[in-house]
Structure 1
Amino acid sequence: MHAPPSTRPPGRPRDPAADRAILDTTLRLLIEQGYDAMSVDGVASAAGVGKSTIYRRYPGKRELVVAAISSIAASLEPPSDSGNTRDDLRAFVAQTFGVIRRDGVGFSMIGTLLVKERDEPALIQLFRTAVIGPRLAIAGGILRRGVERGEIRGDVPLDLVVQLFAGAFFARHLVGRPDDDAWLESVFDALWRGIAT
């Protein structure tokens, strides 16, 4: 004999605003306090939600941080193919470094994750897989289209181009110089001249 189907209504649906508050707060506290010092209690308090709200979504701190890091990549839509490689690459660079520059999120988070690499190697690996990997794939796709269209030289090592963009940005940050839009445009123009046909 089978039990009759349950007539109990489903639980309350998840609140997208609470989801966003939890993930944003997790990122902020990860940057401000570091992985070891931050706690689920602290995230709940700062996000204005109950601990049970977080634990219904994530079993613990590690899973919460993983979800927060993954949310960065999910928020970045790849630029559409405009038919002009320079414009597409410029849009990609502006979008990517806009996120890194926003409130110091990128620099601080990468620093925090690198510090934890020995104790929590899965965290930096997740960042590489969930955030860096997809961005590299998008950049590679834009550059390959440029080669196919004859806008970028075929002998250019495409991986190196992406590393040069990132390296210039992080070097500028390390020496404490402003990385405003004019500077970013000048770096982009210099690198574009080196790869364009």
Structure 2
Amino acid sequence: MASGAFSGIDGKTALLLAPLATSTASLVFGWDQHLFLSLLAASPQGEAALPGYWRALFPRGVTQVFALLGATAGASAGAAWAHGALLRRRGALGWYAAAGLLALGHLAFVPAVAGRIKDMTEADTDAAADVNVGAEGTTTEKAEAETEAQDNKRGRPDVVRLQREWLRVNLVRTLTTDLGAWVCAFVAAIKTFS
């Protein structure tokens, strides 16, 4: 049974607010990825943990990302189609269009990350056996150099380096397309409901 908490929100209002809600979720997800995955990239155990983590994260994460981007773009287009005259009068139509386009712009970063993700998910998982942990629980520089040399001999990718590269791309993507879509959706909602 409905609690009545949303009784004042009709279909029109929900559609006009949907781009703001979904772009907020995309922005939070992008920032959370940066926060949590940067911890693994800084950890001495990152080399061993990252391949399995990416294998578990990727199927769920990519589904969530596509769903949120599709919802933002779709709701923006739906709002423009269903309520274009109102949005034009309020000066919000262009903001809805920009929110949808920026959400889709997130996909322009796929070529920059796809190879790195593939290499991390396919990395050999026995790297943990090759990492020498020092007395205080940190990997020594000598051990890191030895592990890197061993990895290069085996053809194993440096997953921590790949993760750091992915993090740089993710941060740029989050601060451009995701934040941009959110700002546009926010302005669109303010203009529409003011």
Q: Same fold (TM over 0.5)?
A: no
The structure in which a higher percent of residues are helix is 2
Higher RCO (Cα < 8 Å, 6 or more apart): 2
